[in-house]
């Protein structure tokens, strides 16, 4: 297949675990031999799944792709919290979760995580505060205070209920932090909770099943002149 990276291409990447979105862009920049390249919506290093990367003139469409609905599949672990709201740090503040029922969780989801909601992003996030990211400040031990933001939850389904783990699928607006949903769900249930796994499966009509892994992109692009 011939690519026109200057004219503009939209590359669908299945981002691997532990890679940052910047790592993906940097690797593809080197392979495509182009300076103008960017991604449409950050994925955390501990998240996998669909990342849209635009090159050349297609970078003008990045905002358009960022504004699309996102679909995630993830696993929430009840009975503990972490500072990052995910599995980057060891679980702490252990609490009993055995009394929680699936019906209870469904009721909380319907009441608190449906339609337009307000959420506070994790302090370990890429949100900028006076030119520095929140996670940079948090890692230095600085006090970080982030303001609530309004996001929209279009769908929140339980795929598997096997405590302490709850597998879920969430369709949401841009800017939604699934880590915050996991944390807030645990707070409401009074058990604590954090996100132990996250995978982005869709952005608008783009599906991760149509994406290439980084290994596949490296193999596809390594022979380009």
Residue tagged active-site, from 14, 44, 86, 184: 44
- 3-state SS track over 14-68: EECCCCCHHHHHHHHHHHHCCCCEEECCCCCCCEEEEEEEEEHHHHHHHHHHHCC
pLDDT at position 144 is: 67
Give the separation between CA 4 and CA 118, rounded to whole angstroms: 42
Give the separation between CA 165 and CA 41, rounded to whole angstroms: 27
Q: What is the pLDDT along the chain (225 residues), one digit of tens a residue?
A: 788 999 999 999 999 999 999 999 999 999 999 999 999 988 988 999 999 999 999 999 999 999 999 999 999 999 999 999 999 999 999 999 999 999 999 999 999 999 999 998 886 666 766 666 766 666 666 666 778 899 999 999 999 999 999 999 999 999 999 999 999 999 999 999 999 999 999 999 999 999 999 999 999 998 775
pLDDT at position 143 is: 67
Reduced to 3 states (helix: H, G, I; strand: E, B; else coil), residue 62 is helix
Sign of CA dihedral 217, 18, 124, 169: positive
Domains and CATH numbers, the chain: 10-67+205-221 (3.30.2350.10), 70-203 (3.30.2350.10)
pLDDT at position 124 is: 67
Helix or strand run (H / E) with residue 220: helix 214-221
pLDDT at position 218 is: 94
pTM: 0.92
User: Could you tell me how far CA 132 lies from the centroid of its own chain?
Assistant: 20
14 is annotated as an active-site residue:
no
Reduced to 3 states (helix: H, G, I; strand: E, B; else coil), residue 6 is coil
């Amino acid at each position: 297949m011939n690519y026109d990276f200057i004219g503009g291409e939209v590359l669908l990447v299945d981002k691997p675990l532990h890679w940052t979105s910047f790592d993906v862009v940097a690797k593809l920049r080197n392979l495509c031999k182009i300076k103008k390249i960017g991604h449409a919506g950050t994925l955390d290093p501990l998240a996998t799944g669909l990342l849209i990367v635009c090159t050349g003139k297609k970078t003008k469409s990045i905002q358009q792709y960022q504004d699309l609905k996102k679909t995630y599949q993830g696993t929430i672990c009840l009975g503990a919290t972490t500072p990052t709201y995910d599995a980057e740090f060891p679980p702490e503040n252990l609490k009993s979760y055995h009394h929680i029922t699936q019906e209870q969780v469904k009721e909380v989801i319907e009441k608190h995580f449906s339609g337009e909601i307000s959420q506070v992003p994790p302090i370990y996030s890429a949100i900028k505060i006076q030119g520095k990211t929140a996670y940079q400040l948090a890692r230095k031990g600085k006090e970080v205070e982030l303001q609530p933001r309004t996001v929209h939850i279009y769908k929140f389904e339980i795929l598997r209920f096997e405590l302490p783990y709850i597998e879920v699928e969430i369709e949401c607006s841009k800017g939604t932090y699934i880590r915050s949903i996991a944390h807030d769900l645990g707070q409401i249930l009074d058990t604590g909770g954090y996100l132990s796994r996250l995978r982005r499966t869709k952005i608008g009509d783009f599906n991760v099943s149509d994406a290439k892994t980084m290994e596949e992109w490296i193999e596809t692009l390594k022979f380009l002149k």
